[in-house]
Structures are given as structure tokens and as C-alpha cells.
A and B are shown apart, each in its own frame.
Chain A
């Protein structure tokens, strides 16, 4: 080829290449593939439908509207038509649909093999095994339930108790202390709080805008009482050791040491009596004498609350038209009855018992399942007393232990005896939706259908101001190989010859509706909610000063620092673990990498000789957990704030390997008088790591 020929060929080739689609296709591919590497899912196509129900994961049964696309639940939205939550949604309820398919969801029945592994088995095998074990165990059966609002408890109670056992327990929560306190003060039913109609709420220890009581409803009231851009109609004060989410919304924060709620309430009572607020009732003089000892100065020394600020709040409380004092514990359990009694007494001084926007008396539910214990009996049972008794060898461990929707190994203090209960019990059965720490230690794990997949209910959660009853009904078939536990228990009871009086869960809920006078069909079809105002008629409460004095003798351990727990509902419950989306709402002052963050104020850090970012250990003499220091001035002096809900060893990658479980730092004492287990006041020490 000569030179001319070569140039012709090159020119022709260039023109040909430009005219061909090769260059453009290559460019297109380069753009396309550089932006689509990696696999990303396509979004679904289909019609959306919306159905109303409740979140059974949220402890107070928040009302939700579920969006389904082609029958698949994709979103849990707020439900403005739910008369209880009135459009409020908690961060946990918002994650309901994601949790249905979370990696921690139990998919098959699991059985422990002799080599210690949990392997999948069929439902037939699982049910046969459970039936045989229960038949063998007879009366040596115990059960722990973590969902006190569900009527499924009656099935569990009937199943366990009809066979001669009285060991059916609820996981400890604030209602146990409240019930003991309310009974001691002369109340006949359940203690309720008419938060809806109050215009000034003093929450002592109760994280009412985040996790305590009927939280969605509390927050809707907070919202309605404080219209955006307008003057607040409802005032809030919060007493607790940390400026937590409730303190952030409150008008006053009373920085009070954890475990000193009773002393604080008596300090308020002192100021109210001094200002002439003392509605008479039996025992008033004695109570006046006790409250007289709690001068603002003494209370300041005991609780850490400045005398001036205490006086300011007491004045505002007395000046309000419909004030309400409610007492709870930061962790939602482990608080004593003494503090609640003192809180009731403050309400009594103001004449707020049985009044609109005050304390109310709620009736106990009537059991509808044959052979089931009534609610009051079960709430009054003391799980910790039993588990510690099993641990000490005084009581024989059960041959079969049933764990229903609870995670006692994670959520109870390490000296609760639960570890020994698990070690010594013969055959442990978990009924749960997620692979929790407790499930991981069981011999048989039954995957429970979730709230959107089953018939269940939520009866008057603790913290309510009226009787309420909501129903969850299956919007979809149970995912994976899970089954509604209510149905499993009914069929189990039948096979074991236990008479429950119900055929299936809809039948059970229908019976419940009938006993309440509710319209079951309407509730299922339209998501309606049953409500009934508290009846005003009940015995006049008394100032039981003796009981308060006895509770005051509780020994508070002397420790250099106190633990201030911070609970955020968005981080899930002991039963759910951390929901997948919640990792992003966990802040840098709650978790840093894999380590918990210990928040303390600058004065405390100086005293300890540590700075922000320092690696420390927080210990209680027996257990030490690692943490990183963060300086936050919203913590009491000599207190260390740590987030609850971390330190999971089970569930999935969203929950594991994140911080430490603060329950390991708590230990149990018994409240004098009531004998209730108390673990709200934990002494700790901080050492440089």
C-alpha cells in the first residue's frame, strides 16, 4: 500500500467509525454502567390500599394506617382517626412494616440439637414436642409474658394454671409499683392518669414524652396543648437526672437523682401544704408531719434539685386549674411503690383524685378465658421474687419454661436470678417474632406472627386515663413460616385437655368484646376503638403515711456516681432489638462506633480527670462496661448518663455489636413494706480504661 492508499483507508475508516453507532453505544454503555454498578432493587408497581390497625410492637398499641402495595405492607403511617393516638406515631411504630421482614425475624420453628445448635423443624414436630413436654411437666410449668395488654395472656394463664402451677408472670413494669401504691392508698382498681384533660403535668421520673405510658397519646396531648406559634395551654415539668427528650419539651426540668423521686414528691408536698393546699382525707395530719420534714433545703441536698426551682414548680402546680402529678421510672420498670404513693399524696393534697384531668380509678378487665387468673392477680405476682428464689434453690426450677414476647435475659438486672432460671429450667420455649437473647437460649423457638399478621388486642395500657380496647387483625398472611401464637395456644390447650372456652382468636376477641359491650365486627372492619370513661365512684383514698415512711427506709447504696439511664423508644424494645432504620437515629452522643457513650457534665468529668472522647469503663463493682466520654451539661453532677437499648448479642447486624447493655450495671434491692424489686437507683464508678 502506498502513502495515498493508506491515507484514503485511514480517512475512510474514521468517517465510517464516526458514522457507525459504535462510539455512541460505547459512550452510552460507559455512562450507563458507571451509574449502575452494584445491585439496587427496583421499586414495586401496584395499587396502594390503606388499612387501619394498631402497632403491637409499640408497648402502648399506637394506632397506625398501613399502606399495602399489591398486598405487601410497605409503610406504617399515622392514623388521625384513631381516637387514642389521634395521628401521633412513635418512631418504633413507624418501623413496624420494616420489622416484619427484618433479618432478625424468626422464620421457622427452631429446636436445639444435642450439639447446642438451633435447627429448623416443622410446625408439626414443634407442636408435638411442646405438647409432650408440657404433658410430662404437669404443674411444673412456668410462663413469663412481656405483653401485659394482650388477651393472649389469659390463654397462657389458663394453660399454665389449670395444670396446677401459679407461675404465670408479667415482665416487671411500672404498673406493678403503681398498683401496690394505689392499693396502699385505698384505691380499688387500676391507677389511671387523665392526661388528656390536665393543664399542668409534673412527671417525676416518667419519660412521658418518649417512652412512658401511653406515649403517642401523651405526645398528642402535648401537641394539642401547645399549638405552634401560640401560648401553651398545657404546661409540663419533668424531674429526672438527665435532660432527656421529655425534659426537652418540658417548661421546667428538675434535675433529680434517679431513685429520689419519693423525696422530691415529699418536697413538693411540703411546699403545697405550706401554701395552704391540703385537701383533707384520712391520715392528713400524719402526712403533714412527714412532709414537714422535707424542707426545700433538705430536698435539695437529697435530690439535687435547687430549692428555688422546686418552689417555682410547686407554685405553678398549685396555680394550675387541673394539675396532675405522675410518677414513673426512667426504664419503665424497677421503680418502687413509695414514690408513686408520694405522688398520689401530692395529687390528693391538690384534690386531684377522681377529678377531671387528675388521677382516675380504672376497672380491672374481666377474664374471658376459662381457668385464667384475673389481671390483678397476675400483676401482683412478683417475677423477680420467684426467679431469685429459683436461683437460690428455695424454689424448684420449672420443668417447662414458656417465654411469651419477652426478653428477660436482656431486660432484667444481672442479679435477677433469670440466668439461673434459664440454666436450671428443664425445657425452655420461646414464642417470639425476633431472635432475641432469650430466644437464643431456649430449646424450642416458635416464630410468632406479628401484629399485622394476627388477631390480637391491646387493653388499656398502663398510663391510660380511660378504659380502651383496640384490635389488631391480619392484614396479610403470616410471613415466612410464622403462626399466630393465640391460635397455637388454643389448639395446644385443646390437645392437652385444658378447657379454655374459646375455639379461635376471633372467637376469643368476640367474647372479650361482648364482655366489654364493644362491637367486634365494627372494630375489625373499620378499625374502630372501644373507649369508656373511668367511673367516678370509688372509695376515698387515704394518706397512708406509714407505708410511705416504710418505703423511705429503703437503703440507697453509697457510690461515687449514679447511673442515669436514657430510654429512646425509636431504638426498639427488648423484644424487637434495634429496628433497621433506627441505626441512623442513634446519635453520636449515644453510640460511638461499637462503644456506648457516657455523658456527664464538665464538673463531673473534671472530678474524674477525664475529657470528651476519653475511653473509660463504667462499673458497679461486679461488671464493667467500656464507654467513651461525652460532655453534656444536661446531666446531674456525679451522674453518668448511658443509653438503654444497646449491647444486644442476638437479633441481627442492626442490633449486635453496638454498645453495652446498661441493665448489667443495675442491681436489685427490695422495697421495704411492699417487697417490690427496685433497681432504679444504680451506683456506679467510672475508671479510665
Chain B
């Protein structure tokens, strides 16, 4: 597994699962922003291509004690990404300041090792030619190239938005490596009507995520695998936190040792 590189900036998310109601606005915004092709039939979820997926969680109890929660799952942008070490063509890497795991579709040979190694199922394969029926291709954004069939793709934390934010900072004479909180946010963060997603630099005490990730209610998915995800979740509910990893019965969640 790759070693963790100590980046000065680590872009990350803190997603409050007690605020997410599963409407899907984040998924729609993500598709539109990143030029994902619409799919006529996306009912086969193994073939549907999403950079961000919202899962429904259940506390496993019967009616009327049943509770429900929703979990949006982007790429975790792991500190030790298991996808990077298996890629035979360096189509995915984690070297750039900011700690975003890159994905370079023109280099990808479609072997899908990265998909097998990603414990979060955050990577998707283009099983079909991307198609924008009729005039739908008129709404493509200029920021993200379209990808052909046969390559793997994934969430980039809307990397182009970071580029734009840096450019804007330079034009204003500010330090592009010390962006104020909110100067760069992802499309899903922007779209969430419930404000469930908070985005920022996990290393920067001036950013809200710095404080939120240290909450006793914060956790990361499967963090005992040692992948060091840069996406944190928050929930005051113990049963929600327990679904973040394979806990034994006597193990409790809710501490902040992971920070």
C-alpha cells in the first residue's frame, strides 16, 4: 500500500448523516457538473455509473423501532489509496498538493484492478458508450472531458473547481495555497439543500471541517483498514456510526481517536 504523503492541504468532506434525507440533489449536481452521461435504464446498479451514490441505511430493527438514514458516498480520497498501488499504468495517483486521488482516463487501460481494490466501491467502469440523446450534449460543461467506454472513472472532488478557485485567488493577489473557507467547494456540497455536506481543508484550522472532523460523533468508513479516508461522517446515532465499520459487539463508537 502506498505511503501517506504529508500534504500541506488535505481537501476533505464532513457529511452529517443526521441531516441527509436522501433526496439525490447531490447526485444530480455531480452528474451535471462532471459530464456523466445520463442512462436510460439505471435500475441495474452494478452497471449504473455514478461518482457519488446515496445509500439507504437501516438500524435493522423491526417496525415500529425501525430507523432510517442516508449515506452519500463520494470517493474517499484515501490518504493511503489502495487503488493507486494496483494501477499498472499510473492512471491514478496521489501526488498533487491537496491530497485528491487523481484519475486520468486516457491512461486507463480498463483492467479494473482499482475497482477490485477499492473497499468503498467508489470507482465505476464505463460499460457502455456514453450517450447524450438528442441535444443533451449541449449542456456539457467545459470543465471535465467526456470519457469513452472501457475506462474507469471516479469522483475528483470537482478538481476543476479547485483550479478555478486558485486562479481567482491569484487574480485577487491572494495566496492560492491558503484559500478561505468556502472558496472551493464541490458541486455536491453546493447543491445539498440540507447543508449536510461541509467541504474544506482538513488541515486548516480556519476551515469548518477541521473542527467538525474532531467531533466525538465523527467517523470514517472502514477506517481500520488503514486507508485514511479524507471523507468523514457525523452522526449522533450509535447505530449509524456502527455501520461505518465491522465492529464487534463490545466495541463502542463515538470516540475521536481516529483524528
Using a CB–CB distance below 8 Å, which chain A residues touch chain B? 34-46, 48, 67, 69, 72-78, 85, 87-91, 94-95, 97-98, 100-103, 105, 209-210, 215-216, 219-220, 222-224, 226, 228-229, 243, 245-249, 255, 306, 309, 479, 568-570, 579-589, 591-594, 601-603, 632-637, 652-654, 658
How close is A621's CB to chain B, nearest CB, in angstroms? 27
Q: What's the minimum C-beta distance from B83 to chain A, rounded to whole angstroms?
A: 19
A584 B129 Cβ-Cβ under 8 A: no
B155 to chain A, nearest CB (A): 14
Q: Which residues of B contact A100 (CB under 8 A)?
A: 139
Complex interface: chain B residues within 8 A of A216 (CB): 193
Q: Judging by beta carbons under 8 Å apart, are B28 and A94 in contact?
A: yes
Choice from A34, A101, A586 contacting B136 with Cβ under 8 Å: A101
Q: Is B111 an interface residue (CB 8 A)?
A: no
Can you list 8 pairs linking A and B with CB atoms under 8 Å apart? Answer: A36-B148, A91-B25, A98-B136, A101-B134, A226-B16, A249-B20, A585-B28, A633-B63
**What residues of chain B have their CB less than 8 Å away from a CB belonging to chain A?**
14, 16, 18-25, 27-29, 31-33, 35-36, 38-45, 48-50, 54, 56, 58, 61-64, 66-70, 106, 129-130, 132-151, 190-191, 193-196, 198, 208, 211-212, 215, 217-218, 234
- Closest Cβ neighbor of B149 among chain A residues: A38
In the complex, the answer to whether B16 meets A228 with C-beta atoms within 8 Å is: yes
B48 touches A102 (CB 8 A): no
Shortest CB distance B211–A (Å): 7
Cβ–Cβ contact B196 & A44, under 8 A: no
Please tell me which one of the listed residues A43, A309, A592 contacts residue B145 in the complex, with CB atoms under 8 A apart: A43
Task: Tell me the nearest residue of chain B to A35, going by C-beta.
Answer: B148
The contact of B139 among A34, A97, A224, A602, by CB within 8 Å, is A97
Contacts of B134 in A (CB 8 A): 101-103, 105
Is the pair A103, B133 in contact by a Cβ cutoff of 8 Å? yes
Q: Is the CB of A41 within 8 A of B146?
A: yes
Cβ contact within 8 Å between A43 and B41: no
Cβ distance B136 to chain A, nearest Cβ, rounded Å:
6
Contact B148 A588 (CB under 8 A): no
Whether the pair B40, A43 counts as a contact (CB closer than 8 A) is no
The CA of A94 and the CA of B192, in the complex, are separated in Å by 10
Q: With A40-B148, A589-B56 in contact, is A226–B68 under 8 Å at CB?
A: no
A40: contacting residue among B43, B54, B130, B211, CB under 8 A: B130
- Other 17 A-B pairs with CB < 8 A, given A36-B148, A246-B21: A35-B106, A35-B150, A35-B151, A40-B130, A43-B145, A77-B29, A89-B190, A91-B27, A98-B38, A226-B19, A229-B234, A245-B70, A569-B23, A581-B38, A584-B48, A587-B56, A633-B63
Distance (whole angstroms) from the CB of A44 to the closest CB of chain B:
5
Most buried by A among B32, B69, B132, B198: B32
B28 & A581 in contact (Cβ 8 Å cutoff): yes
Closest A residue to B218 by CB, please name it. Answer: A229
- Measured CB to CB, the closest approach of chain B to A670, in angstroms, equals 33
- From B50, which residue of chain A is reached at the shortest CB distance? A584
How many Å lie between the Cα of A591 and that of B151 in the bound state? 28
Q: Which of B28, B137, B141 has the most CB of A within 10 A?
A: B28
Among A101, A634, A653, contact of B68 (Cβ-Cβ < 8 Å): A634
Complex contacts, A40 vs chain B, CB 8 Å: 129-130, 146-148
Q: Is the CB of A94 within 8 A of B25?
A: yes
- Closest chain-B Cβ to A663's Cβ sits at a distance in Å of 21
Is A654 touching B38 in the complex (CB atoms < 8 A)?
yes
Q: Residue B140 contacts which of A43, A48, A220, A653 (CB distance < 8 angstroms)?
A: A43
